[in-house]
Structure 1
């Protein structure tokens, strides 16, 4: 039986309408990305950040990875604009051995009780592109904290001046609510009796700083203590080139050797180590709230310390697997922190703070690596 002309016309119109409707839904679900500004992909699989790091957030709530500039005072009855809805595609945030080439963002975090000009001078000399670097500081309450804040802000004003083309992407300063209970001078803060309380406080400070500043576009986190005053300018690129989940250089200290009557170097950080049967046996006899501390004669662990593996003339790329790490200079892939690895302020397998962090990361499947012949230097008090 022949189909009438009107029915054929209706079928054609139906197909056209159906096709148009399908195109609309495809555009609605998959094509509405042009309204979200993104950085260009610099290589296949490179990170596509939703917003450029130099932009400022229009609202203090969103997006969390950008600096917020307080808007002008609103007129009477005027309401602030709501925070924007921002989409982040986390699978597109790369963490590679070439962070410069792939334009990967790094977050440098520093717990700061005292400010050293040498620390800042070394920081601004880092050769990693500063527009990819965000800085975060946490400073204790009290007179010393106030002084450190003033000194830090004075240097920030110069470095972040609009005329300086080498300024950092953003800087966040957190002030703690409580004054430190442990004195900050060298002798008191390194006393064995003060370590559990001191390092628990340090863990809480590190966690507060991390959880406040870690943004969805962050690829790397560099923990850099405020008394690290000398590193190679290529520190970030050098550490990242090993492509390890967490990696730590050897922390030494320059000092005047009276026996030689000349400047010399000596190990400083003893928290990067390879575990030993003695330490494991010691932990097995401890109560649940006791911790093992490294570098003290009263608690001999016989661990292999990376500080004593150093060869001043050895290959700087030599690697060693570690069970504990120090935090003077520690580079971490951001997804290690996102997986839940933090700094335990409580005994975690009888370890605390950075050493506890290494154990927690290991439990999550991320192994620590040390570079015994790659050096950073601590301030000599």
Structure 2
């Protein structure tokens, strides 16, 4: 392991909502990371939960504080909840759901980022990744990079917000390659150089990049332009930055 990859301050940022079943294991995985406590911080933002996510998160802060140099826990409700029995990927609610998630990510970023060099976006329901996750991502030498998020080893891409060719190719199209350029990114696991966020790179809560050639064409289910993590990828392009994916480095997400 390259000791230089253990020196840069990192903040892990995680939006949380209705995740009582995932939070304790999330903390266990953070505790298992092979990254020094003195340069690791955590930021959580809870919004609009209808279960006990908020009090459970408050109860778990002490454990996280023993593992990290700083823990930030913020509550910010946006007034959005999916109707009961409707899957979160339902096309009719995608715009509203992802607009709310973009706002949550931006609020979390502005409340939790301090002096860190890197931001690791990490969803609470990513259930398996190696203890040296941060080092593996940093070792690519890329400043916006994601691993391949799947629900079973060798399975299809789960986080389909990272794509090329106007949304027609995802990381499972590039297996056998260690690193590929992406037009957009997913946010289940995403490492970003913090200065890019400070320079204005964020998660658009509105259609962004209408004039960018990489965005998807208009479709009956959506208008032209990208939002949330896909919007961040297009914004990165407009800022002269390149996003990257690691097709053969898989992390596991809980099945929906």
Report the TM-score range of the alignment, normalised by the length of the smaller protein. Answer: 0.7 to 0.9
Q: Once the two structures are superposed, what CA deviation does each residue of 1:72-106 show, in whole Å capped at 9, x if it has no partner?
A: xxxxxxxxxxxxxxxxxxxxxxxx99331xx2110
Displacement of 1:183 in angstroms is 4.4
SS at match of 1:362: helix
Match of 1:337 among 172, 185, 197: 197
Match of 2:213 in 1: none
**Unaligned stretches of 5+ residues in structure 1:** 1-95, 162-166, 256-263, 280-300
Supply the RMSD in Å over aligned alpha carbons. Answer: 2.2
The size of the alignment, in residue pairs, is: 237
Match of 1:248 in 2: 146
User: CA–CA distance in 2 between the matches of 1:224 and 1:97?
Assistant: 23
Match of 1:325 among 185, 188, 196: 185
**Residue 161 (structure 2) pairs with residue 268 (structure 1):** no
Q: Is the 8 A contact 2:64 2:71 kept in 1?
A: no
> What TM-score do the two structures reach when normalised by structure 2?
0.85
SS at match of 2:231: helix
Match of 2:250 in 1: 375
Question: Max radius of gyration: which structure?
Answer: 1
SS at match of 2:200: coil
Would the alpha carbon gap of residues 151 and 372 (structure 1) be closer, same or farther in structure 2, given more than 3 Å must change?
Answer: same
Structure 1 runs, 4 residues or longer, greater than 4 Å off = none
Match of 1:93 in 2: none
Moved more, 201-210 or 149-158: 149-158
Match of 1:234 among 124, 132, 135: 132
Q: Is the 8 A contact 2:74 2:108 kept in 1?
A: yes
Match of 1:309 among 174, 177, 185: 174
Q: Is the 8 A contact 2:174 2:180 kept in 1?
A: no
After TM superposition, list the pairs within 5 Å mapping 1:146-165 onto structure 2: 147-160=52-65
User: CA–CA distance in 2 between the matches of 1:331 and 1:142?
Assistant: 26
Displacement of 1:184 in angstroms is 8.0
Displacement of 1:188 in angstroms is 2.1
User: CA–CA distance in 2 between the matches of 1:266 and 1:155?
Assistant: 33
Displacement of 1:131 in angstroms is 2.0
Q: Once the two structures are superposed, what CA deviation does each residue of 1:167-195 show, in whole Å capped at 9, x if it has no partner?
A: 2111111111333233487x521111111
Match of 1:205 among 104, 109, 116: 104
Q: Is the 8 A contact 1:271 1:325 kept in 2?
A: yes
Of structures 1 and 2, the one scoring higher in RCO (CA 8 A, sep 6+) is: 2
Match of 1:34 in 2: none
Displacement of 1:307 in angstroms is 3.0
Would the alpha carbon gap of residues 355 and 142 (structure 1) be closer, same or farther in structure 2, given more than 3 Å must change?
Answer: closer
**Unaligned stretches of 5+ residues in structure 2:** 210-224
Q: Is the 8 A contact 1:98 1:240 kept in 2?
A: no
SS at match of 2:98: helix
User: CA–CA distance in 2 between the matches of 1:205 and 1:97?
Assistant: 34
User: CA–CA distance in 2 between the matches of 1:334 and 1:377?
Assistant: 25
User: CA–CA distance in 1 between the matches of 2:11 and 2:4?
Assistant: 16
Match of 2:236 among 341, 361, 364: 361
User: CA–CA distance in 1 between the matches of 2:228 and 2:78?
Assistant: 19
User: CA–CA distance in 2 between the matches of 1:184 and 1:319?
Assistant: 39
Q: Once the two structures are superposed, what CA deviation does each residue of 1:216-254 show, in whole Å capped at 9, x if it has no partner?
A: x21000000111111111000110111212000000113
Q: Is the 8 A contact 2:40 2:69 kept in 1?
A: yes
User: CA–CA distance in 2 between the matches of 1:97 and 1:344?
Assistant: 36
